[in-house]
């Protein structure tokens, strides 16, 4: 009886363990909060959804909580900082590269593990990693990658008798000014379309700065607009847009065949969709950016996927990021590659560009890839949105002739120095403050 008693007790406890084991396993699931920027109802979020679904098939102990944003890009940064203050900062987040300094200054991002970084470097264009690098550390993998190039309407230029595309800004400015002046007002065609708004004016500034040997950050890393090199840039922009008026910010006009040239990015492919009264595809060509006295300047920007420094499941978060970057899920593309195809991004690797989804536009995309050696990012400092808006406001004041170029530069420097003082003093830095 004593032996039977012990056997009964043993069987009882084995039953208890086997019964409660699934409940214990379920309770111990690893939860990853993934802030993917777009609401789940959007096509851009499908890559993230698919990535999460596929990951959990092979990693059954992991579950995801997805966060999106309905209010736009600027509010996305604010949402993430509010979460940080509330103690609900996501494990994995999708952010604009120019925000990386803001998040690093606040101590929120984890650098990419060395082994993963070495692995991804083997397959990526090195320029695609530059945007999420800050002070010698890499914080994110590229999700969207945009590089500037010169685009032109071959049909319009053929009609104007132009056989050769200028290779310097001086020659391009002279040609565009002449072409604009040959048309009567009712049939006027723009000389060249640039991107407008805060980031657009900043991109133009960055491009011309490299081409003419200027910078608004000095050797000590301080804001320094008010100098001879930057005055040259402001005077050039004021002349092009405000005095000679051959330049504009009518990107949609280029898409409709009303502008000869465009300072473009890969996503401009959508602006001449035949469904929106655009010129024929074969009218559009892409070439190298024009050069200035100091060489050729280009601009690049993008978005990246990062991991929180304070994630309770940091190792699992990085495993998920690696999965998104390395596991083909969409017709041979990774989740990150598929996302790039949805937003009109440049591919980040030769392997990616050979995929049929990108290969159908390979000639177009290769023209942008040829511009990679000339492309740089904006100055890597906090408060990118507010810096861009400040620069845009002062440039617009100069091109509308409301301020002299010199006064606009002086005001720009004062405001930006104040912004940097706020940022470096540890004050709250999200937009909308």
Task: Let me know whether 230 and 86 are in one domain.
Answer: no
CATH code for position 315: 3.40.190.10
Task: Let me know whether 127 and 41 are in one domain.
Answer: yes
Task: Let me know whether 153 and 209 are in one domain.
Answer: yes
Task: Let me know whether 51 and 82 are in one domain.
Answer: yes
pLDDT in tens, 234-275: 999 999 999 999 999 998 888 888 999 999 999 987 665 544
Cβ atoms < 10 Å from Cβ of 30: 17
Q: Three-state SS for 244?
A: coil
Task: Let me know whether 212 and 306 are in one domain.
Answer: no
| Least confident span in 9-13, 60-64, 85-89 | 9-13
Has residue 276 been placed in a domain?
yes
pLDDT in tens, 374-428: 999 999 999 999 999 999 999 999 999 999 999 999 999 999 999 998 887 765 5
Displacement of CA 144 from its chain's centroid (Å): 6
Q: Which residue has the tokens 């690098």?
A: 133
Cβ atoms < 10 Å from Cβ of 367: 18
Has residue 214 been placed in a domain?
yes
- The span from the CA of 431 to the CA of 433, in Å, is 5
Has residue 9 been placed in a domain?
no
Q: Three-state SS for 351?
A: helix
Task: Let me know whether 243 and 260 are in one domain.
Answer: yes
Has residue 89 been placed in a domain?
yes
Where does the pLDDT of residue 298 fall: very low under 50, low under 70, confident under 90, or very high at 90 and above?
very high
Beta carbons within 8 Å of 257's beta carbon, 6+ residues apart? 153, 155, 156, 272, 278, 279, 283
Return the CA Rg of the chain.
26
- The span from the CA of 299 to the CA of 289, in Å, is 10
Task: Report the number of distinct structural domains present in the chain.
Answer: 2
Task: Let me know whether 133 and 165 are in one domain.
Answer: no
| Least confident span in 7-21, 193-207, 290-304 | 7-21
**Average pLDDT over the chain, rounded to an integer:** 88
Has residue 345 been placed in a domain?
yes
The pLDDT of residue 21 is: 44
Quick one: DSSP state of residue 239?
Answer: I
Task: Let me know whether 111 and 73 are in one domain.
Answer: yes
Task: Let me know whether 110 and 38 are in one domain.
Answer: yes
Closest among 201, 157, 253 to 391, alpha carbons compared: 201
- Domain that includes residue 288, residue range: 149-299+378-424
Has residue 268 been placed in a domain?
yes
Task: Let me know whether 140 and 253 are in one domain.
Answer: no
Has residue 17 been placed in a domain?
no
Please name every residue paired with 190 in a beta bridge, in sequence order, or none if there are none.
Answer: 259
Task: Let me know whether 400 and 265 are in one domain.
Answer: yes
Whether 80 has a pLDDT exceeding 60, the answer reads: yes
pLDDT in tens, 33-51: 999 999 888 988 988 988 9
Pick the last residue of a domain from 352, 372, 392. 372
Has residue 11 been placed in a domain?
no
Task: Let me know whether 248 and 357 are in one domain.
Answer: no
């Amino acid at each position: 009886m004593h032996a039977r008693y012990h056997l009964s007790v043993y069987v009882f406890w084995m039953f208890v363990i086997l019964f409660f084991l699934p409940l214990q396993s379920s309770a111990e699931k690893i939860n990853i909060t993934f802030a993917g920027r777009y609401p789940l109802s959007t096509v851009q979020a499908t890559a993230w959804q698919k990535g999460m679904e596929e990951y959990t098939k092979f990693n059954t102990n992991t579950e995801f909580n997805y966060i999106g944003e309905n209010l736009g890009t600027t509010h996305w940064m604010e949402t993430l900082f509010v979460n940080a203050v509330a103690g609900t900062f996501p494990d994995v987040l999708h952010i604009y590269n120019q925000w990386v300094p803001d998040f690093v200054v606040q101590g929120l991002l984890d650098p990419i593990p060395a082994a993963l970084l070495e692995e991804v470097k083997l397959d990526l264009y090195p320029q695609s990693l530059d945007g999420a690098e800050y002070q010698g550390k890499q914080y994110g993998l590229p999700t969207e990658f945009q590089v500037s190039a010169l685009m032109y309407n071959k049909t319009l230029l053929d009609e104007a008798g132009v056989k050769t595309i200028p290779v310097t800004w001086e020659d391009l400015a002279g040609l565009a000014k002449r072409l604009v002046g040959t048309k009567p007002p009712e049939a006027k065609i723009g000389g060249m379309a640039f991107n407008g708004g805060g980031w657009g004016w900043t991109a133009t500034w960055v491009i011309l700065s490299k081409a003419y040997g200027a910078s608004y950050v000095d050797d000590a890393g301080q804001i320094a607009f008010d100098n001879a090199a930057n005055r040259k840039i402001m005077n050039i922009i004021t002349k092009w847009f405000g005095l000679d008026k051959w330049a504009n910010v009518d990107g949609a006009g280029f898409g409709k065949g009303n502008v000869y040239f465009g300072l473009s990015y890969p996503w401009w492919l959508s602006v001449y969709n035949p469904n929106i009264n655009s010129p024929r595809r074969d009218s559009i060509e892409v070439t190298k950016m024009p050069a200035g006295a100091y060489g050729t300047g280009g601009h690049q920007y993008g978005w990246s996927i990062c991991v929180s420094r304070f994630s309770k499941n940091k190792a699992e978060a990085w495993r998920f990021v690696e999965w998104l970057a390395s596991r083909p899920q969409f017709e041979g593309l990774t989740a990150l590659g598929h996302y790039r195809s949805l937003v009109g991004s440049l591919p980040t690797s030769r392997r990616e560009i050979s995929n049929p989804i990108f290969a159908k536009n390979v000639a177009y995309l290769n023209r942008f890839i040829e511009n990679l050696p000339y492309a740089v990012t904006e100055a890597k400092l906090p408060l990118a949105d507010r810096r861009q808006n400040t620069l845009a406001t002062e440039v617009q004041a100069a091109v509308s002739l409301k301020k002299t170029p010199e006064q606009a530069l002086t005001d720009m420097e004062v405001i930006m120095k104040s912004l940097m003082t706020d940022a470096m003093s540890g004050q709250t830095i999200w937009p909308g403050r």
